[in-house]
Amino acid sequence: MMRAYAIAKKDMRIYYLKGPVVIFGVLSPTFLFLAFIVGRDLPIDFLIAGLLGMTVFFTSTSVSPVVAPTETQSRNLERLAASPVSITTILIGDILASVFFGVAISFIPVLLGIAMGVTIIHPFILILGIVLAAFCFSAMGLIFSSTPTSMTSTVMMLSTMIKFPLVFISGIFIPIGELSLWGKALASLSPLTYITDLCRYSIQGNTSNYYPVVLDISALIIFLVIFMVAAVKLHERSLPKRL
């Protein structure tokens, strides 16, 4: 863990202000949210819950995808591969950097909502959900970066093709209970659905969430395990092609 933390500190110094991170992690959810609320009379707590879920999703998947291709291009990956650390340790370090960024930025909508009079009914559930979701989405970002390329544009294009459809099927803009049967089935396959549901529960109360809280938390943990195992396997295969 000390080695993973050292890698995370390196990632934080290098990648937090990179163009793809700022564009896809901060600006994209902001403009998407603004386009959604213009001309619509919606409750502020509903809007803040949706913005929070979307923010943790985009920010946590903005750092981890760019690390591997950038380090392939700069040859830093060769130094890491030659050092006494495993691929799993390297990936955990990348995840930690992404989680720190995702959690920090995600609290901006929380503070914005509090300033606008929104009450956080279940703060501990909200914090737990944000942290779990940040780990889950960071591991998801590692899957995108497993493509053996040195071009961040290729990785970000791939991640965008997957992330944006998930936003529209995950109950952010339309509550899950109002979706059709096939829409609910699609929503259940998206990890973003469960953090959005937790945000609604934490901010709007017991009657606003579609799934039980235990199911939301369990789903995020299951997705985290699946994404992490898949990322390790994929990076083990792609690493020799990068060197």
pLDDT at 6: 84
Is residue 139 within 8 Å of 228, Cβ to Cβ?
Answer: yes
The model's pTM is 0.87
By residue count, the chain amounts to 243
pLDDT at 93: 87
Q: Find, among 28, 11, 27, the residue nearest to 63 by Cα.
A: 11
pLDDT at 196: 92
pLDDT at 20: 62
pLDDT at 43: 81
> Tokens 């049967």 correspond to what residue?
181
Task: Compute mean pLDDT per 10 residues along the chain, 243 residues long, and list them.
Answer: 84 72 69 72 82 88 80 73 80 89 86 86 93 94 82 77 86 83 89 92 80 93 95 85 67
- pLDDT tens digits along 30-53: 777 777 777 667 788 888 888 888
pLDDT at 125: 93
pLDDT at 221: 96
Distance CA 225, CA 69 (A): 23
Distance CA 184, CA 153 (A): 32
